[in-house]
Amino acid sequence: MDKTEKKNNQNNQKRFAKLEKEAKKSREERISIPNTLPAIAMRSNMVIFPNTVVPFYVGREKSLMALEHAMEHTNNLVFVVNQKDPAIEDPKESDLYKVGTIVRIIQVGKLPDNTFKVLVEGIARAKWIKNVGEKFFEFELEILRARYGKSKRLIALMRMVKEELHKYVQYSRKIPPETLMLLEDVDNADVFADIAASLCPGSIEEKQELLETVHPANRLEKILDILARETELLEIEQQLDQKVKERIEKSQREYYLREKLRVIRDELGGEEDVEIKEIREKIEKGNYPEHVKEKAQAELQRLEKMSPYAPEASVIRTYLDWILNLPWYEKTEDTVDIEYAEKVLNEDHYGLEEPKQRILEYLATRKLSDKTKAPIICFVGPPGVGKTSLAKSIARAMNRKFGRMSLGGLRDEAEIRGHRRTYVGAMPGRIIQLIRKLGVKNPVILLDEIDKMGISFQGDPASALLEVLDPEQNKDFVDHYIELPFDLSEVLFITTANVLYTIPPALRDRMEVIEISSYTDVEKFYIAKNYIIPKIYEEFTEKKTKIFVFKDSAIKKIIHEYTLEPGVRELERQLRSVVRKATLEFTKTNKTVVITPEKVAEYLGPEKIREEDSLEEPLVGIATGLAWTPNGGTTLYIESALIPGNGQLIITGQLGDVMKESVRIALSLARKLCGENYSEKFTKYDIHIHVPEGAVPKDGPSAGVTITTALVSVVKDIPIRNDVAMTGEITLRGRVLPVGGIKEKVLAAYRKGIKTVILPKKNEVDLEKIPEEVKKNMNFIFVETIDEVLEVALCETNANKQTNKTNRGKKRRTRKSDSETK
């Protein structure tokens, strides 16, 4: 080879190297881009990336003007940026993303609807600085260049993205496999990342985020995350499709085989289906009423004539399963041993004499005659007094199976009567379901929270219960699903409620109401000592080691200072808390823990129940009333005051409408009782009535006598005895009417240390419900008029003592003469 040829080869190599270097340059470096370009706002679900060729459509006036300007003045270069909200027809600068793509227009074509299809080539990503255009967007731009060096991490990311794209293409039909050829010979990481981003699925926000990511390594990582997520979703979809396909094929295969088997059986002499044969034998051999057998045989004949794959066939099978498995005759034998039943009831519950007595009476009548109808008993009382557990004890005492059905929040009548079989997924009502589950026709069924049922467009469940809870009708109860009469007369239905007024009158009339009032402190003490603590001890230890011992004073401290409730649920929670802490202490010291009041304070912290202190001395205008609450009884201090004014009545303390009416009645009665001597005080002063604990709503008429006493006291300036509490409704004539909740109210006075209680005369019969240990320590004064209340409640001054004494003497003489006349 001569020197000339060698030199030519060297020149050719230099020229090829230069051309290869130019080819490796990005389009951005090969095209001269001005600082200002016209811009088109994109509102399609597409983001244009550099180094890609894509078409898009232009139709808005501003966009067409920018397109025309680009073709005439900027060498076919235009800036494309996406709108944040595609619905905006005339976007402003604030409606656009900051980063877009500089593209070169390759081809423009007009469509029949006067829009233009534009084919563009992405050149570079750029960020617009400000708008300098008037008729259309024209932005000053800052080109975003990636500064990076080739590294092993970039090469690895490119390989991983390529693999994930291959996986995605295998599962998805949106991208043809030939498209991946674009990435085969690309070794420029920036170009590779842009092409991959254009192929990557994702939302418009994710695509815009990829466009705004300048460094190719970061862009490739985000692409990997999106591809991995989409590929995983596509894999799950493919698995689900495969399962559905297999199930369909299996169903078709089974249908084919069953039809073939049917044909074979017909050829062999029409052998009967095994399932139908079993049902037929069950009908013939089972102990069913005649009307049930006839219905079952009719349904079986229908089943035989239809294809086993017909939708109606499965409905008939389910129906036959229900009616053939109901306990039409099966029942348990009642325990008629009265002593055993009484022992079981006393073992499970302390007190509750009235409900226990009623059950023993029923058992006694059952012992003499089987014709006695089961009573419908309704236990009414506050939460936690043992209504539900008492129903379980009754079932145990009678040797019957027990089932519970909660009616709280029930709004659908079909829950009681069942659904018609015409509905998809129809089922019998919950009563029939419960009876089938128990397997006998005479269980004890507890209908819990009967006072909390609702009414909706689906019907009134309370009305549906009228037939169930009527001993005269429930002998032939018909469930909509079963469509056959079922005898519920032997079921002992027990219902529970917290209040009676929410139960419809017709339903309440069908039940025998037994009120279970709140427990006294003495009852709570014995319940805790003899029932709750032994039960907790059995739960907490299986060994014979004595872990803890409760002092009686500790139990009483928990009752008085840590619980305020009619029942014993909170008491049990507090006892459990003490036992847990005592158990922890035992494991540390291995010594029996003696739980004293001091230990209780240490375990449970400061006392939680802080009632208002009793009045230390008689005060003018402050009377002690008694009120009933869902948590039991409480004392209520009614305060009255005279304020200079013009005779207005001021009422505070969040009183209800009924109690406000009682205040107005009391005011009118007080004016009448005080007479003309005190009339100026009613006109020259405003009268303010306040009931403390203003955040607690109060209502009811039973504070009438208390309010009247407070008003008379403040007007006449006579103190009211602080050792007397009272309750009763008042009338304008001064009559004292009976009220409810006497037991709870008397117990509240007893807890406060008040020994004298004024009660309406007609409430004297309610003293039977008050425990003896309370009655023997209290003085009850029964009144019929407000004069008798004031005679006891107001402190007598020296001046009026003699007058009252004379009046009482006259009154006694009058009563004596009346009796003599009679």
pLDDT on residue 458: 63
Contacts of 48 (CB under 8 A, 6+ apart): 42, 54, 56, 80, 101, 103, 120, 122
Question: Is residue 388 a known part of a binding site?
Answer: yes
Task: For residue 418, say whether it is annotated as part of any ligand binding site.
Answer: no
What number is the average pLDDT over the span 293-315? 79
Residue 384 assigned ligand-binding role: yes
Three-state DSSP state, 572: helix
d(CA 762, CA 783): 9
Q: Is 385 annotated as a binding residue?
A: yes
Q: Where is 123: in which H helix or E strand?
A: strand 116-131
Phi-psi region of 713 (alpha: psi -120 to 50; beta: other; left: phi over 0): alpha
Side-chain half-sphere CA neighbours of 32 within 13 A: 2
Of 367, 372, 431, the closest CA to residue 404 belongs to 431
Burial 635-657 (b: 16+ CB within 10 A, else e): bbbbbbbbeeeeeeeebebebee
Q: How many CB atoms lie within 10 A of CB 727?
A: 32
DSSP calls for 311-360: HHHHHHHHHHHHHHSS-SS--PPPP--HHHHHHHHHHH-SS-HHHHHHHH
How is residue 294 written in tokens?
Answer: 């006839």
**Rounded-to-10 torsion of CA 328, 329, 332, 338:** 110
pLDDT above 70: residue 24: no
196 Cβ neighbours under 8 A, 6+ residues apart: 161, 162, 165, 183, 220, 223
Phi/psi-derived region of residue 6, left when phi > 0, alpha when psi is between -120 and 50, beta in every other case: alpha
pLDDT band of 18, cuts 50, 70, 90:
very low
Distance, CA of 479 to CA of 435 (rounded, Å): 12
Lowest-pLDDT choice from 12-26, 49-63, 272-286: 12-26
Q: Is 387 annotated as a binding residue?
A: yes
For residue 132, the model assigns a pLDDT of: 87
User: How does strand 779-783 pair with strand 756-760?
Assistant: parallel
Cβ–Cβ under 8 Å, residues 113 and 39: no
745 is catalytic: yes
Choosing from 517, 662, 702, 713, which is the catalytic residue?
A: 702
The reply, when asked if residue 355 is annotated as ligand binding, is no
Catalytic one of 356, 581, 599, 745: 745
pLDDT at 816: 34
Q: How far apart are CA 626 and CA 633, in angstroms?
A: 7
User: Which pair of tokens denotes residue 150?
Assistant: 């080739």
What is the Cα–Cα distance from 679 to 687, expressed in whole angstroms?
A: 13
| The pLDDT of residue 473 is above 60 | yes
Q: pLDDT band for 611, please (50, 70, 90 cuts).
A: low
Within 8 A by CB and 6+ apart from 226, the residues are 200, 201, 202, 206
pLDDT of the residue at 695: 64
Average pLDDT, the chain: 80
This prediction has a pTM of 0.57
Q: What is the pLDDT of residue 457?
A: 60
Contact assessment for residue 654 and residue 694, using Cβ atoms and an 8 Å cutoff: yes
pLDDT above 70 (res 222)? yes
Mean pLDDT highest for which of 427-441, 602-616, 689-703? 427-441
| Lowest-pLDDT choice from 82-86, 134-138, 266-270, 437-441 | 266-270
Asked if residue 744 has pLDDT above 50, the reply is yes
409 is in an annotated binding site: no
Whether residue 719 is predicted with pLDDT greater than 90 in this model: the reply is yes
- List phi, psi (to 5°) of 435: -65, -40
pLDDT digits over 379-423, tens only? Answer: 888 788 888 888 888 888 888 888 888 888 777 777 888 888 778
Q: Tell me: is residue 541 an annotated ligand-binding position.
A: no
The CA-CA-CA angle for residues 249, 255, 256, to 5°, reads 90
